[in-house]
Each structure stands twice: as structure tokens, then as C-alpha cells.
Chains A and B, each alone.
Chain A
Amino acid sequence: MMRVWLVGAIVRYWTILILLVFWQVLVTVNDYNSIVAPSPIQVGTAFLSDPEYFMSHAWYTLSSALGGLILGIAMGTIVASLSWATPLFNGLLMPMSLFFRSIPIVAMIPIIVRLVGYGSHSVIMITAILTFFPCYLLFLSGLEDVNSTRKDFFSSLNCQPKGFKMLTFFRYLALPSAMPNLLVSVRLLAPICILVALVTEFLMGLQGLGYVMTSARSTLRMDVSWAAAIISCLLSVGFFLVASAVEQKYRSRWSD
């Protein structure tokens, strides 16, 4: 029983294990001191010496990323619904969102930081702006990509995606059909919203794990910088796993 479990874990996680061993070997072989590259133990002690410091910054990052994600998704779904209902609006918004999709927008955060301004709400706002576009595009394609048999069935009962029955069509067909895409967008955006929050904090240098990473480096506390980086990674991976689990769980409710 134990062996089966172990083999299963190795089959699934062997790459991660190799990566950890590689890190340890690299530090040991090159005999780095802690200013150059801290060992896993030093990173651990840096965290344990002041866990509250790390946790408060982690909480700041997580809460602003989450807040931004929720805002972005709310805006994305609302604007996508309006777009679905008014083709003119859709035509006006589409070029903009395709443009945003094709540029490396996270690299443009310096501009957005300047636009939004430095403040306590900047991180939430920037996360919201950057999560808005992917969610808008995905949700809109879900609204428009309605199974043709279901659409015919609705037509046979005089329910079309236009005219006075539009709301009924939206409520009973388009909206539920788009739910799987909403779940997908949450999964895709979970790591992205953490990344955006970190990048913004990194650039603004006020608060959060992104800020800890740079400020610790400038004072040569590599162990603190690494601890913040690793907590960020755990946060992001954890959030992604939660979002994937939510998607897995609810997906079958909304699709064949």
C-alpha cells in the first residue's frame, strides 16, 4: 500500500524532486556563502526568525491579487454580456481586447503604474485591469458559442438571441453555456493575478512580497529575498491548484 503510494508520487513528482536535488547540489558544490546563494536551511531560518513580517506581506499580496481578480472578472463578465447584447459595442471593444491580448501586457505594467498612480489601491486596480481582458474574451466566446441543437430548440419555442426574448435566451442558454469558460478563466488567471500583483509591488516598492524581494536584495539579505520569492511561488502554485480543483469540481455541472 505504502509502496504503491510512493511509486505514484514519484511518477508524478520526479521532476520537482530532481529540481530540489539540483538546487542543493549546486549550493553545496559551489560552496556559496549566504550573500551569494543561501541554502534551503538559511532560507527557512530567515522565514522563521520573523514569520509575521513575511505573512503580513504575503497577505497583502494575496488579498490585493484576489481583490483585483474578483474585480477584473466581475467587469469582464458584465462587459462581455453587454457586448453579447449589442453588436456595435462588441465591434468597438474587440480590436482593443485583441490588441491587449497580443502584446506582453505584464511588461507594460510600468506604464500602468504611472497611469494609475502610486497608492494603496494601485495593486488592486492594476490586477483588475490586466485580468479584465482575458476574462472578457473567454466569457464572450462562451456566450457566443452556444450548441446549435440547443439554439434550434430555443428557436422552435420562439426564443431568439434578439428582440424581446433576448433576456430569456441569455438567462436560460447563453449564460449557462458560458459558465465553463468562466471557470477556465479563473484557473488561467489565478497565477497571473499573483504575478501581476508581485510585479506591481516590485516596481512600486511600497508593500507586499514583490517589494520584499527587491528591498532585501538591495540590503544584501539574499536569504530574505529568496524566502519572499519562494513564498510567492507557493502562493501562486497553491492558488492555481485551488482554482483548478474548483474548475474540476464544477465543470461537469455546466457541460456535457
Chain B
Amino acid sequence: MNDILAYSRWCLGVVILILAWEITGNRGWLGSTWPPLSSIFDYLNSRPNLELLVRNAGVTGVNAVLGLLFGTLIGALLAILGFLIPRLYPGLSTFATFVNALPLIALGPLLIITVGEGATPVAIATLSVFFSFFVAAISGINQTTAIQRDVTIVFGASRWKKLRFVQLPAAVPRLFDGLKLGASAAVLGAILGEWFGSGSGLGVILVSAMQNFQIELLWSAALFGTLLTITGFVCISLIRIAFFRRYL
């Protein structure tokens, strides 16, 4: 009963959000930069507009996926390294915190020189994914209780075996959480990276539409960015479900 009430409040919230957007946009209460939702869909209804956005979203998507891949790999490798060689761990965790505290945008000037303009989106996406996955992996690996760890020690398991059979399975839920955070971070990183002289991508469209007052294009690009993130969430959730079906 309480659930139903909360749920209906929630739905009401969504409906009011959409209605408020449409009405304020229609009346122009928030200025010309706040278009009604319907005008964005009108804009996307034309073939060239849609193609432009799909093409650029594809570029950003590829950048984000690469960033997610590299970032996850690096994060996982460093987390495992930190677990197998405990001496390295404090330095790795300082590094992760340091990367997290860096403003991604400030890495732009440094990265366009070191890795080139084309690879900057992937590099920034990689760095931002790295942090969230590394933190998730470390906290996941340390999820096991002291008793579970003691039991493996009593059975004389090597550090590697301990990781393989106890720590890693225990970490799986956290790893998926890290991946989900990473999906959003990857899209953000790719778009920020594209602001630094990349030829195409949603980032380029967002900036040029902003500068040229192409309001519908601006909102459409934002919509596609959101869709990319949501697609990432959905894919990771599906993988998660498949994984749990297969192994649990």
C-alpha cells in the first residue's frame, strides 16, 4: 500500500516534470533557450538532422566504449597488482585519489600534445573510468569478512588462489556498480575530450550549437548524450543479469 503510494507520487513527479517542461517551453517563460519538448522531437523528425546526430553520437559512443574498456582494464590491473603486492597499494590509492581530484578539463591542454587531438577523448574517458572502477574493485576485493579471509589462510591458500576463489567472486557486485558509474564517466570524458579540437562527436556539436544559438540542435545533442549513458546502463545491467544467471 505504501509502495503504491510512493510509486504513484513518483509517476506524478515524472508527468509533472514533462508537462512543466512543455508548458514553460511553449510559453517561453524561461527565454528562447528553453524550448518545449515537442519542438526538439520536431527537429529530430527531419532526416538530415537525425543523421547528423546519429553519426556524431556514434563517434562519441566509440570514444566512450574505448575509454570504458581501457579504463576498466587499467583499473582492474592496478587493483589486482595492489592486492598481490600490498606494498604498492598505498601509492596506487593515492594515485587514484589524485586522478579523481584532477579537473578533467585541465588535462585537455596536456593530452592534446602527449597523445594527440584524435585520442584525447578516449584518454580523458579512460582516466575518468579508471578511478571509478579502481575504487570499486578495491572496495569489492576488501568486501570479504575477516573470518572468510582467515579461513582461506588456515587452508593455506596462496595470495593468488585467495584472490581467484574468495576475493574476486565476492567483489563481483561491486565491480558491476563500478562499471555503471564508469559508463556515465566515459560519456562525460569523451564529450569533454572532444571539446579540444576534435573533428566530430557530440562534444563538438554541443559547443558549436551553443556558440551559434542553434537551440534545438543543442538540446538534441544533450538528449543523445543522455541516451548514450542510458544505453550504457542498460547494456551493463543486461551483462550483469546474464553473468549472475550463468554463475550463480
Q: Residues on A close to B: CB < 8 A?
A: 10-16, 19, 26, 32, 36-37, 87-88, 90-96, 99, 102-104, 106-108, 110-111, 113-115, 190-191, 194-195, 198-199, 202-203, 209-210, 213, 217, 222, 225-226, 228-230, 232-233, 236-237, 239-241
Contacts and interface: CB of A to CB of B under 8 A. Distances in A.
B156 to A, nearest CB: 28
Q: At the interface, is chain A mostly helix, strand, loop or mixed?
A: helix
Given A91-B6, A92-B13, A111-B33, 4 more contacts: A95-B13, A115-B33, A203-B207, A210-B105
Given A11-B87, A14-B88, A213-B109, A195 B104 contact: yes
Interface in B80-109: 87-88, 90-92, 94-95, 97-98, 100-109
Given A102-B233, A103-B226, A115-B31, A191 B103 contact: yes
A249 B214 CA distance: 49
A95 B98 contact: no
A94 B10 contact: yes
B188 interface: yes
- Counting contact residues on chain B (CB < 8 A from A), the size range is 35 or more
Contacts, number: 159
Contact of B105 (A36, A108, A195): A195
A190 B9 CA distance: 33
Nearest to B213: A114
A103 B183 CA distance: 10
Contact of B95 (A15, A103, A115): A15
Contacts of B101: 190-191, 236-237, 239-241
A202 B105 contact: yes
B157 interface: no
A39 to B, nearest CB: 12
Contacts of A228: 106, 109
B103 A13 contact: no
B184 A233 contact: no
A191 B102 CA distance: 7
B106 A92 contact: no
